Amino acid sequence: MFTIKIIGVLLVVVTCSFIGTLKSRALFERRKKLLLVLDGVNMLHAYIDQGEFELHIAINNAFSKCIFLRFCEDKILCEDEDLKNDKSLIEEFFSQLGSTTKKIECDHINHFILKLKTHLKQSEEDIEQKSKIYQIMGICGGLTAGILLI
Amino acid sequence: MPNEFNNAIMQTTEKIKRTLQFIPDDIKQCCEEIRLREGKPVCLTVKGRVLFVCESSAVCDVLPKNPLIISKEELQKSLALLCKNSVYLHEAEIKQGFISLPNGGRAGVCGVFNTEGMLVAVSSINIRIAREIIGCANDLFPYASGGLLIAGPPGSGKTTMLRDLIKQLSNGECGRYYRVAVIDSRGEISGGGALDLGINTDVINSGDKAAGTQMALRTMFPNFIAFDELGTAEELESVKECFNAGVSIITTVHCGTKGEIFTRELIMKIINSGAIKTVAFLSQNLGEKPLILTYSEIKNNVYN
């Protein structure tokens, strides 16, 4: 009976720690994905500045690593749980592309890069502030629940 | 031809596409232009006549009660769609008032242009449907050697005839295979590679026709050099150089009436240079045979 109790408690502790780690990992994932978007946007800027490719080809090439972006008929959707805070920014950026001159397109991209960098900075602050907290909360929560169960 | 019409409307908004795809096939077959204007009804040019499109996809020659009206947003969206959502790629063309379409079509655009010459607000779009009429230049190829100028008013089929003539010369349909160099400044002759110009044709996509002609002359050693819309003194000079090099030129020129042939300075200059031996005048009536004017007839001004 005691052994079963111990196993149960361990299971609770491990599960809670795992959830905490997942939450913490999501912050790192967000940063990683935002960096991929930033790389893509910089590449897109270069493609548009070169003026050799149509927009859909330029986007496909520039964002080939961003598998979390879904290319629909005439819009691009960001369906990723890690980027839920950045979804509207990214989708709005793509919806405004392609209807104007090279100079204005480049200005639009530069403006987006600035906004994206703010989000990136925010995500880095989140990592610093929240990542450890989530992990500790997971372990502590698990231990508390375990003690209560005993 | 309905396919060409359907291809042309693919690059418009859903509403326009949905309405135009159901217009009668015989209209689609003869349609030369689709005109979209801000806040105005959609018009078609069919055999030179203006027809209005109703919301029900019916077509009539008087303004109907329920015409298909184009909003500003739809016009703006159509412009973006015509550019395949890549307006930045068509900046140079838009500054000149047109957008090259796939399959040799061309859309004319107008509206408000800024000081840099860029369109900032579109008010009208004219989608011209490119046609390939096989054999339409049958009457012209005997006159191609020695230089041929195809003259006619806008919409008379000059480019269509030029395209067919190039193809016939290149494919050996005139008795032997000729090397033809095409200077396609706006992609209208070759349709950006989509239209067949024959097996022995080299296409130079150069915005500067005079420079393109020089390039073709020096590098491709053609029997014929063809380009659309002769218009500048530089182009005239390059035509003269081709003549001196023994290469025949085939080109087109806008010309409202046959009388204009004798009064237009540019046309007379090119004829007097000897680089053009024949002028083919096309009337607005599509299908009508071209009026052939030989060098001596023009010099003697027999039609004036």
The rounded distance, in Å, linking the Cα atoms of B84 and B167 is 29
Q: Once rounded to an integer, what is the mean pLDDT over residues A104-133? A: 89
Residue of A nearest to B94 (CA): A101
Do B118 and B238 have their domain in common?
no
Do B227 and B90 have their domain in common?
no
Do B195 and B279 have their domain in common?
yes
Of B87, B91, B118, the CB nearest to A98: B87
| pLDDT mean by block of 10 residues, chain B; 304 residues | 79 91 90 92 90 92 91 91 89 87 82 87 90 82 88 86 92 89 85 83 87 90 91 87 90 86 84 88 79 82 55
Do B161 and B229 have their domain in common?
yes
pLDDT at B271: 86
Whether B26 is covered by a domain: the verdict is yes
Q: Provide the residue range defining the domain that includes B213.
A: 141-299
Q: If 0-12 CB within 10 Å is exposed, 13-18 middle and 19+ buried, where does residue B196 land?
A: middle
Do B88 and B153 have their domain in common?
no
Whether B64 is covered by a domain: the verdict is yes
Q: Which of A56, A73, A99, A106 is the best residue to mutate to test the B interface, defined by the most B CB atoms within 10 Å of its own CB? A: A99
pLDDT at B297: 81
Q: Which CATH number do you get for residue B122?
A: 3.30.450
Its pTM surpasses 0.80 = no
Do B197 and B114 have their domain in common?
no
CA distances, A55 to each of A12, A17, A23, B54, B104 (Å): 51, 45, 36, 34, 21
Other Cβ atoms closer than 10 A to A37: 26
Final residue before a domain boundary, out of B128, B161, B185? B128
Within 8 A by CB and 6+ apart from B145, the residues are B248
Hey, is the C-beta of B72 within 8 angstroms of any chain A C-beta? no
The rounded distance, in Å, linking the Cα atoms of B182 and B203 is 5
Q: Which residues of A touch B84 (CB under 8 A)?
A: 54-56
Of B76, B79, B85, the CB nearest to A56: B85
Whether B15 is covered by a domain: the verdict is yes
Name the phi and psi angles at A140, rounded to 5: -60, -45
Residue of B nearest to A94 (CA): B85
Q: Once rounded to an integer, what is the mean pLDDT over residues A125-129? A: 84
pLDDT at B111: 92
Domain count, chain B: 2
Distance in Å, alpha carbon of A114 to nearest chain B alpha carbon: 22
Q: What is the pLDDT of residues A74-88, one digit of tens each?
A: 778 888 888 888 888
Average pLDDT, chain A: 85
DSSP run (H or E) holding B280: strand B278-281
pLDDT at B200: 92
Whether B135 is covered by a domain: the verdict is no
Q: At residue A73, does pLDDT exceed 70?
A: no
Name the phi and psi angles at B31, rounded to 5: -70, 130
Do B157 and B238 have their domain in common?
yes
Q: Cβ contact (<8 Å) for A51 and B84?
A: no
Final residue before a domain boundary, out of B100, B128, B156? B128
Contact B83, B89 (CB under 8 A): yes
Do B156 and B30 have their domain in common?
no
Q: Once rounded to an integer, what is the mean pLDDT over residues A50-60? A: 88
Do B120 and B219 have their domain in common?
no
Q: What is the pLDDT of residues A94-103, one digit of tens each?
A: 888 888 888 8
Whether B49 is covered by a domain: the verdict is yes
Q: Which CATH number do you get for residue B294?
A: 3.40.50.300
ipTM of the complex: 0.72
Q: Once rounded to an integer, what is the mean pLDDT over residues A121-132? A: 84
Q: Which residues of B touch A55 (CB under 8 A)?
A: 84-86, 88
Q: Which residues of B touch A54 (CB under 8 A)?
A: 84-86, 89
Distance in Å, alpha carbon of A53 to nearest chain B alpha carbon: 8
Do B273 and B192 have their domain in common?
yes
Q: How far is CA B295 from the centre of its chain?
A: 25
Q: Which of B17, B78, B86, B101 is the best residue to mutate to test the A interface, defined by the most A CB atoms within 10 Å of its own CB? A: B86
Do B154 and B115 have their domain in common?
no
Of A58, A74, A100, the CB nearest to B87: A100
Q: Which residues of B touch A56 (CB under 8 A)?
A: 84-86
pLDDT at A111: 94
Report which of residues A9 and B40 the model is more confident about: B40
Q: If 0-12 CB within 10 Å is exposed, 13-18 middle and 19+ buried, where does residue B294 land?
A: middle
pLDDT at B302: 53
The rounded distance, in Å, linking the Cα atoms of B90 and B106 is 12
Do B49 and B180 have their domain in common?
no
Whether B134 is covered by a domain: the verdict is no
Q: Provide the residue range defining the domain that includes A29.
A: 2-149
Asked which of A41-55, A133-147, B163-177 is least confident by mean pLDDT, the reply is A133-147
Hey, is the C-beta of B10 within 8 angstroms of any chain A C-beta? no
Domain count, chain A: 1
Whether B304 is covered by a domain: the verdict is no
Final residue before a domain boundary, out of B74, B102, B128? B128
